[in-house]
Amino acid sequence: MKKTIGETPMIKIKYKYKYKNKEKEIYVKLEQYNLTGSIKDRIALYIIEETEKSKILKEKMPIIEATSGNTGISFAALGAKTNHPVYIFIPDFVSSERIKLLKSYGAKVTLVKREEGGFKKCIELADKLSKEINGYRPNQFSNYLNSKCHYLKTGREIIEQVKEEKIGGFVSGIGSGGTIMGVSKKLKEYYPNILIGAVMPKEMPLLNKDIPTRHKIEGIGDDFIPELLDQKIINKVFYIEDEDAINMARLLSKKLGLGVGISSGANFLGAVLLGESSNEIVVTIFPDDNKKYLTTDLSKPINLNKNLISNKIELLSYEEI
């Protein structure tokens, strides 16, 4: 039997890009199949289990986190299961579905306005509250258990699922950096020459300029370089435009029936671009599904602008592996 968290399915998507007679493939891990519908269930479960074991997280202790959504939703659901009250600090410009979901799992939610300092302010307020009420701060951006979980689980699952095929590239967007760090570390043990591609929002303001973010690829590009990230592991950075990421996600849904979130669209574009430099398998992640974005631009019609990379990709089919 499949567990409620982890052991997610993998598919390969066939497509053509640039050359009419050259069919290519991207291997994708579908993380929407986790308990609350995102990759973040993995780290919330692992962090709670490990810190309960080491007694850092004591019985009924509050969990306090700053998040752009999915991490908070995962902690809220698992906090309800394990009897930990959950306090979430979240920028007010995330999709309304995220905030409603957090509340539905019983989390106490504080919205922080862009003018108040956006994401960085969320972290400051979470730190302050955890001191005041003696709460546990998972701090996904610096918590080594985050990347370790992806090293032990997500990365290992990828190796097992692609079996005898050789992986030439891995692409992931960077939020906390946990996915790219953990998965890359595991894959590099098996494929030392693998190319690692990072996806970042093109519309992100310059880092460390203290301008809260305005881009639309929710879940990645959170205003600062996370402590977990070691930039040396990255071979290529793909700066993806908001509209291209959104349009790619729309196309995956309309053409293949894969209802995925905006960062999945961005990851797919990054994987196709990395695929131009590799004749071996390229793997990426679809971190969540489309349901948290129904009130966003994702629900608008396909953008037919021929300059978008998403419109230069011909999606052919996908199959489970």
Active-site residue list? 40
Structure tokens at 81: 């299961």
Window 78-97: contact mask with ligand PMP (x via CB under 6 A)? --------------------
Instruction: Report the residue from 175, 197, 212, 259 that binds ligand PMP according to the rule CB under 6 A.
Output: 175
237-257 burial code (b ≥16 CB/10 A, e <16): ebebbbbbbbbbbbbbbebbe
219 binds ligand PMP (CB under 6 A): yes
- Edge-first strand order for the sheet with 195-201 is 236-240, 195-201, 167-173, 281-286, 23-30, 10-17, 313-320
Question: Measured from the CB of residue 40, what is the shortest distance to ligand PMP in angstroms?
Answer: 6
Q: Which of 58, 77, 185 is nearest to 134 (CA)?
A: 58
Q: Which residue has the tokens 């409603």?
A: 100
Question: Measured from the CB of residue 261, what is the shortest distance to ligand PMP in angstroms?
Answer: 5
- Edge-first strand order for the sheet with 86-91 is 63-66, 86-91, 108-112
Nearer to ligand PMP, 24 or 284 (CB): 284
HEC profile for 261-285?
CHHHHHHHHHHHHHHCCCCCEEEEE
Distance CA 20, CA 264 (A): 24
**35 in Cβ contact with 14 (< 8 Å):** no
**67 in Cβ contact with 221 (< 8 Å):** no
34 binds ligand PMP (CB under 6 A): no
Site for ligand PMP in 49-78 (CB under 6 A): 68-71
Window 255-294: contact mask with ligand PMP (x via CB under 6 A)? ------x-x-----------------------xx------
Tell me the number of residues near ligand PMP by CB under 6 A: 20
Would strands 108-112 and 63-66 be described as parallel, antiparallel, or unpaired? unpaired
Which residue's CB comes closest to ligand PMP?
Answer: 219
Q: Which range touches ligand PMP (CB under 6 A), out of 56-64, 109-117, 122-130, 212-220? A: 212-220
- Which residue intervals of the chain are DSSP H helices? 40-53, 70-82, 96-104, 118-133, 144-149, 155-162, 178-190, 242-256, 262-275
139 binds ligand PMP (CB under 6 A): no
Instruction: Report the residue from 48, 61, 88, 174 that binds ligand PMP according to the rule CB under 6 A.
Output: 174
177 binds ligand PMP (CB under 6 A): yes
Q: Which range touches ligand PMP (CB under 6 A), out of 177-185, 186-194, 251-259, 295-303? A: 177-185
Question: Measured from the CB of residue 175, what is the shortest distance to ligand PMP in angstroms?
Answer: 3
Nearer to ligand PMP, 218 or 241 (CB): 218
Question: Measured from the CB of residue 273, what is the shortest distance to ligand PMP in angstroms?
Answer: 17
Site residues for ligand PMP per CB under 6 A? 38, 40, 68-71, 173-179, 218-220, 261, 263, 287-288
